Chain A
Amino acid sequence: MILNEHQILSRLVDPDPERRIIITPLVNPEEQFGPTSLDVRLGTDFQVLKRSNLTHWDPMKTPDAIQADLDLSMAHFKMKATDPFVLHPGEFALASTLEYVQIPLDIAARLEGRSTWGRLGLQIHATAGFVDPGFKGALTFELSNVSTVPIPLYPGVRIGQLCFFEGATTRLPYDEKKCTKYSGKISTASSAFFRDPEYARIRLANQEAVLAGR
């Protein structure tokens, strides 16, 4: 069941901390509330891929080596409250919500764009708009400008909205599931794809194949 505005409000002030949705800072709830959604704002830190001679992300390297590749390849920008980050046509950038978000165990959420920005060609996530029950931290935006005009993005503008779905209480909250990689992050975090356990197994199989002379 998707929560309506009364139900979202009710969850934000629920006397039971276990059932409460936490979103802070709540800068102006009157502007942020919709019939079944709550707008969220753009944070201050951004990451974009630099041009480099790195040909591809090689998951067969060691995790530390891939992390080093990522560190070298990502440019980090921290914008002041009054300075825009300009997203150029065709560019992809990571950012995060200004808000810290905490979702109770019987709620899942979806992060969606706002039509105001969609009309300018801004997409706020590539594929990962789902927020698990028990999530704590800042949500990641995967920003793309699919128009032909650069888009200046000021920290604090409402570029996304969250809608909430109530269900049965999970016993596997996001921060307790195996292989969780982004729990508790309060800033923009780049991908940790190489920490997925499948890659460890594939790396091992590759090494064994090499040793066996195959």
Chain B
Amino acid sequence: MLKLVLSRLFFEIVEDIVALDQRLAQARQHVDASQQVVVDYLLAQVDQLRQDTLSHRQALVSVLEDTVAGDELETVIYGLLSEQLPTAVDRLHQLTQLLYQMDSRQIQSEANQVLGSLNLNRLMAGDNPGVVLMPVASREGVYLEDRHQLRHEETWAVVQDVPLLSLNNPLHWFGLTDYFMQAFSTRTVQVASLIEELQLGFELPLDMLCPLFNLRLLGPSYYAHYVLQSLKEGYQPWFWIVEPTLFQGLNRFGFVNKDLVILHQSLEKARAFVEDGTEDNDELKLSDKDREALLGIVEKIIPDILAFVEKHYQRAQLLGDRLEQGVLISAVPMMVNPSQLHDTLVQQLASDESFSMYPLLASLKESPAKPVEILNAGFLYKLEKTPLWVRYALTELDDDEAWTFFTDKILSLQNVLAKSIETARVFEVLDGQAPDGPQTRVGGPSLKTLRQTETELARL
């Protein structure tokens, strides 16, 4: 099972290196001559990082192919999980920091469509919250409340930092609601009072609920996103308390998926090899019953109408089937079996050539996919395919071929997801569906606005 975690973690890092490479290629087109040399230096560094990352292929393949065992296996796994892969992540962050000053930092419009479709404003009766996406280099979280908040308590906004490498990667957009949900968890009176009623016997940090709310809002892929990002970046606070609760939430919310079960089971094995950072939180112990109660609160606070529910999961699975065929997933296919429709058509033609086709055509109509259904389909597809892709590339291809293979897979999946989100929005409009809720300031602000915000931040 550990081999699955390892290959997925490896792929996450490859994804980030590809993203860095892409942003550098873009930067090269708009920077002035004096900065070209820096871009060229960074490109050379990224190339070195790519080579360094691929240099671990032998160790990784030995685990994937079961050619080592016992102590030797443990040593290899420890080396990969605790030293080699984290070193690559650190280097990625260093290079991203350097790129930050030269990057255009444009946020892909589809990211705003994802946020807009979540109707976060409807979570706050009478309030008027908003989320402003703000690109940051990486890691350094920026969180502030809008200046309006100083004047009107009921009006607030959250600035959500989006790491540079996630701006164009729809598979990373499961993190877009993090800061909103943190603020929501800690500021909503109803959340605090419901937790108090639980009488857990200890004080539960309310922001710990943030991933649970995200799971309810964003669907099962949030679980995998949370786990993989935590493993990649080093553990989140309360990871070992939150993760089992999230996993329990998958069952409760009807999100049964074998790859997510395998991911959960492999974590316990991985725990022995990594820093888990739980020493400060040993007093927080949640029983299954406590977890159920917490999930019940989450269900109560985020009603079905705003949540990602089983129906959406089923639609996401239908989209996943299309993704497998390389088809755009902007629309959920008709619910009627094509064979049935075909048989009906053949029968009708044989018996009555003057029959009207319109009832049959009506059943052919597709329905627009929701952005979060598209993201779930994409992430689950990636989760399923990653071990196969990594194993194939590292055992069958040389370094250059393997990198080209990874890059093709990553970029084509990202393109299909972004294009699907954009196309689905047009479909929604044509379908007469209401525009997204009045998200006060959802959207990528202009660079000028961002600079103003940064100045305000500095003043604060």
Bound complex: CA A9 to CA B339 (Å): 12
- Size bracket, chain B contacts: 35 or more
Is B97 part of the binding interface, using a Cβ–Cβ cutoff of 8 Å? no
Is A60 part of the binding interface, using a Cβ–Cβ cutoff of 8 Å? no
**Residues 1-15 of chain A: 1 if any B CB is under 8 Å from the residue's CB, otherwise 0?**
000011001101111
Q: Looking at chain B's contact residues, is the secondary structure mostly helix, strand, loop, or mixed?
A: helix
Bound complex: CA A29 to CA B333 (Å): 13
Contact (Cβ within 8 A) A15 B427: no
Contact (Cβ within 8 A) B333 A24: yes
Contact (Cβ within 8 A) B357 A28: no
Bound complex: CA A81 to CA B346 (Å): 38
Please give, as numbers and ranges, the residues of chain B lying within 8 Å of A12 by CB-CB distance. Answer: 338, 364
Contact (Cβ within 8 A) A98 B361: no
Bound complex: CA A28 to CA B334 (Å): 12
Is A44 part of the binding interface, using a Cβ–Cβ cutoff of 8 Å? yes
- Residue of B29, B341, B357 near A6 (CB, 8 A) is B357
Is A71 part of the binding interface, using a Cβ–Cβ cutoff of 8 Å? yes
Contact (Cβ within 8 A) A13 B366: no
18 contacts between A and B (CB under 8 A): A6-B349, A12-B338, A13-B345, A13-B364, A14-B338, A20-B338, A22-B327, A24-B330, A24-B366, A25-B423, A29-B362, A41-B430, A43-B426, A81-B430, A100-B327, A184-B412, A186-B328, A186-B415
Contact (Cβ within 8 A) A5 B423: no
Bound complex: CA A24 to CA B362 (Å): 15
Is B109 part of the binding interface, using a Cβ–Cβ cutoff of 8 Å? yes
Count of chain A residues with a beta carbon within 8 Å of a chain B beta carbon: 36
Contact (Cβ within 8 A) B361 A43: no
Is B429 part of the binding interface, using a Cβ–Cβ cutoff of 8 Å? yes
Contact (Cβ within 8 A) B425 A81: yes
Q: Find the A residue at minimum CB distance from B353.
A: A6
Is B122 part of the binding interface, using a Cβ–Cβ cutoff of 8 Å? no
**A26-B366, A29-B365 known; A43 vs B423 contact (CB < 8 Å):** yes
- Residue of B333, B426, B428 near A44 (CB, 8 A) is B426
**A25-B330, A186-B419 known; A81 vs B428 contact (CB < 8 Å):** yes
Is A82 part of the binding interface, using a Cβ–Cβ cutoff of 8 Å? yes
User: Which residue, A41, A80, A98, A100, has most C-beta atoms of chain B within 10 A?
Assistant: A100
Contact (Cβ within 8 A) A25 B424: yes
> Which B residues, 334 to 387, have Cβ-Cβ distances below 8 Å to chain A?
334, 338-339, 341-342, 345-346, 349, 357-358, 360-362, 364-366, 368
A16 → B minimal CB distance (Å): 9
Q: Looking at chain A's contact residues, is the secondary structure mostly helix, strand, loop, or mixed?
A: loop
Knowing that A6-B345, A24-B327 touch, tell me 13 more A-B residue pairs with CB under 8 angstroms.
A25-B328, A26-B334, A27-B366, A30-B361, A43-B423, A43-B426, A81-B425, A102-B327, A156-B426, A186-B328, A186-B415, A186-B416, A186-B419
Is B6 part of the binding interface, using a Cβ–Cβ cutoff of 8 Å? no
Is A155 part of the binding interface, using a Cβ–Cβ cutoff of 8 Å? yes
> Which A residues, 1 to 60, have Cβ-Cβ distances below 8 Å to chain B?
5-6, 9-10, 12-15, 17, 20, 22, 24-30, 33, 41, 43-44
Contact (Cβ within 8 A) B368 A13: no
Please give, as numbers and ranges, the residues of chain B lying within 8 Å of A20 by CB-CB distance. Answer: 338
Q: Find the B residue at minimum CB distance from A24.
A: B331
Is B205 part of the binding interface, using a Cβ–Cβ cutoff of 8 Å? no
**A12-B364, A44-B426 known; A26 vs B331 contact (CB < 8 Å):** yes
> Which A residues, 97 to 131, have Cβ-Cβ distances below 8 Å to chain B?
98, 100, 102
- Residue of B325, B327, B412, B426 near A98 (CB, 8 A) is B426
Bound complex: CA A114 to CA B317 (Å): 36
**A27-B427, A100-B327, A156-B426 known; A9 vs B419 contact (CB < 8 Å):** no
**A9-B357, A13-B338, A20-B338 known; A25 vs B428 contact (CB < 8 Å):** no
**A9-B364, A25-B424, A81-B426 known; A14 vs B342 contact (CB < 8 Å):** yes
Bound complex: CA A10 to CA B341 (Å): 8
Bound complex: CA A123 to CA B250 (Å): 52
- Residue of B328, B345, B430 near A9 (CB, 8 A) is B345
Contact (Cβ within 8 A) B427 A156: yes
**Residues 412-456 of chain B: 1 if any A CB is under 8 Å from the residue's CB, otherwise 0?**
100110010011111111110000000000000000000000000
Is A78 part of the binding interface, using a Cβ–Cβ cutoff of 8 Å? yes
Contact (Cβ within 8 A) B331 A98: no
**Residues 320-332 of chain B: 1 if any A CB is under 8 Å from the residue's CB, otherwise 0?**
0010011110110
> Which A residues, 74 to 89, have Cβ-Cβ distances below 8 Å to chain B?
78, 80-82
Contact (Cβ within 8 A) B431 A27: yes
User: Which residue, B29, B109, B423, has most C-beta atoms of chain A within 10 A?
Assistant: B423
Please give, as numbers and ranges, the residues of chain B lying within 8 Å of A13 by CB-CB distance. Answer: 338-339, 341-342, 345, 364
Please give, as numbers and ranges, the residues of chain B lying within 8 Å of A24 by CB-CB distance. Answer: 322, 327-328, 330-331, 333, 366
User: Which residue, A13, A15, A33, has most C-beta atoms of chain B within 10 A?
Assistant: A13
**Residues 165-188 of chain A: 1 if any B CB is under 8 Å from the residue's CB, otherwise 0?**
000000000000000000010110
Bound complex: CA A26 to CA B327 (Å): 13
Please give, as numbers and ranges, the residues of chain B lying within 8 Å of A82 by CB-CB distance. Answer: 429
Contact (Cβ within 8 A) B360 A9: yes
Contact (Cβ within 8 A) A25 B341: no
Please give, as numbers and ranges, the residues of chain B lying within 8 Å of A186 by CB-CB distance. Answer: 328, 415-416, 419
Contact (Cβ within 8 A) B429 A81: yes
Contact (Cβ within 8 A) A28 B365: yes
Contact (Cβ within 8 A) A10 B415: no
Please give, as numbers and ranges, the residues of chain A lying within 8 Å of B425 by CB-CB distance. Answer: 80-81
Q: Find the A residue at minimum CB distance from B416.
A: A186
Contact (Cβ within 8 A) B357 A25: no
User: Which residue, B331, B346, B416, B426, has most C-beta atoms of chain A within 10 A?
Assistant: B426
B167 → A minimal CB distance (Å): 15
Contact (Cβ within 8 A) A9 B327: no
Contact (Cβ within 8 A) B423 A98: yes
Please give, as numbers and ranges, the residues of chain B lying within 8 Å of A30 by CB-CB distance. Answer: 358, 361-362, 365
Bound complex: CA A140 to CA B326 (Å): 19
